[in-house]
Amino acid sequence: MSERLGITEDDRAIADAVARFAQNELAPQAHIVDRDEIRTTRYASQLAELGVMGMNLPERWGGIGASPAALILSIAEIAKACGSTASMIGAHYLATDSILIGGDDMIRDRYLPDAASGAKLGAFALTEPGAGSNPAGMITRAEREGEHYRLRGVKQFISNADDAGFIVVYAKTDPNAGTRGISAFVVDRHTPGITVSAPEKLMGIRGAPAHEVTFDCLVPVANRLGEEGAGFYTAMKVLDNSRLDVAATSLGLSEAALAAAVAWAKERKVGGEPLANKQGIQWMLADMKLRLEAAWLITLQAAAKRGAGEKFSDYSAMAKLCASEAAGFITDTALQVHGGYGFTRELPLERLVRDARILRIYEGASEIQRTVIARAMVA
Ligand SMILES: CC(C)(COP(=O)(O)OP(=O)(O)OC[C@H]1O[C@@H](n2cnc3c(N)ncnc32)[C@H](O)[C@@H]1OP(=O)(O)O)[C@@H](O)C(=O)NCCC(=O)NCCSC(=O)CCS(=O)O
């Protein structure tokens, strides 16, 4: 990957270490992970040793003091090697960011160091069968019973749920208060009364299984994140961060697809000359490169705003929208450059296309990102 504006030597050094691990350990296994639906949570300890499982956290809680740009570069390197692993890490960050943003130091001390060390994996439970794009419509309830809350409800598409040490669950504490009636809780995965379903049969990112999770359990009051009613704001801020992670995953998958297309175009001969000499192929490569660079620029711009402590919800939404749509185009066009060979399972193109498809859906579909962008313009 060529160097880009705003990336420091420290950012590059962090990402280079991650890239070495990703290329040596993740890339050779990625097709097997996909084919056999092997859970990428198996890599959590090694990733923690590299600092990746806590890369979104301050040093006080086991982080490595990485900048938002270093985080983007690192996730992109992981996704370049294995989209499922990047997705597994993203779900873990959704959970740990919830604790970092919504919790106080006591609960941060209890959960974040173990999350950073890989001892405990996180999962994030916001979506419900009847409330996806509109989390304010959730019906999961948390009712106070003395020093506990009784948590009852069903969450859907929860990545990492089965292997998690803890799940951050969003629930209504006051069903009449709209978004101000939602609270967040850290729930230990093996609390009696939690049922994790068999994994969904997914089109892509098959090494990052998603589950339906049913809750009918007691959660200590001390496990609430912040005040009652603060949960929706926490979730929205967490999603501002996570949409950058999805943009980074999109960039990594796009890098892998474009590199494969360029190599193929140079090697594959048709009528005695390389495909790369054909103008039609050159224009495809140019269009892929253009969209990839545009997505990098807007993602790094959003990361810079995050790093500067500015409000960046709209930039994060633009980064996710631009990079995930680019990933759809780039992986599909790269497959097209490969012709019939791209459609076989012998090459990684069809996996990249399948892995990229979810990026336009989870953590806010493209249509939601347009809503976030437009609302910031007319506010
Ligand atoms: C579409 C939405 C962005 C907006 O939702 P609403 O219309 O219901 O809410 P608002 O009226 O806009 O806001 C209510 C309240 O919250 C404050 N707010 C909103 N955004 C932010 C923010 N970014 N930071 C801080 N505060 C925020 C806003 O100011 C209002 O405050 P007051 O009450 O006025 O004081 C939203 O519904 C949305 O984002 N939808 C998409 C949901 C989504 O992305 N879900 C994905 C779940 S996770 C996943 O997919 C992966 C799971 S995994 O892999 O396991």
In angstroms, the Cα distances linking 91 to 8, 10, 176, 217, 334 are 27, 25, 29, 22, 28
In angstroms, the Cα distances linking 210 to 155, 276, 375 are 11, 40, 30
Distance CA 109, CA 155 (A): 26
Ligand 1 pocket member 135 (CB < 6 A): yes
Domains 9-117 and 233-378 share a fold: no
Q: What is the ipTM of this complex?
A: 0.98
Catalytically annotated residues: 363
Burial 53-91 (b: 16+ CB within 10 A, else e): bbbbbeeebbbeebbbbbbbbbbbbbbbbbbbbbbbbbb
Distance 236 CA to ligand 1 centre (A): 4
pLDDT of residue 4: 79
In this model, does residue 147 exceed pLDDT 60?
yes
Give pLDDT tens digits for 252-306.
999 999 999 999 999 999 999 999 999 999 999 999 999 999 999 999 999 999 9
Quote the percentage of the chain above a pLDDT of 70.
99
Domain ranges of the chain: 9-117, 122-230, 233-378
Tell me the mean pLDDT in the region 319-332.
99
Give pLDDT tens digits for 68-78.
999 999 999 99
Structure tokens at 92: 């873990």
Distance 368 CA to ligand 1 centre (A): 10
What 3-state DSSP class applies to 241?
A: helix
In this model, does residue 311 exceed pLDDT 60?
yes
CA angle at residue 281 from 278 to 285, to 5 degrees? Answer: 135
Tell me the mean pLDDT in the region 118-128.
98
- Considering the segment(s) 233-378 as one domain, its CATH architecture is Up-down Bundle (1.20)
Distance CA 379, CA 374 (A): 9
Its CATH class, for the domain covering 9-117, is mainly alpha
Give pLDDT tens digits for 94-115.
999 999 999 999 999 999 999 9
Tell me the mean pLDDT in the region 33-57.
98
Residue 1: pLDDT band (50, 70, 90) is very low
Distance 234 CA to ligand 1 centre (A): 9
Distance CA 24, CA 81 (A): 9
**Fold classified for 122-230:** Butyryl-CoA Dehydrogenase, subunit A; domain 2 (2.40.110)
Ligand 1 pocket member 156 (CB < 6 A): no
Distance CA 319, CA 374 (A): 14
Tell me the mean pLDDT in the region 146-154.
98
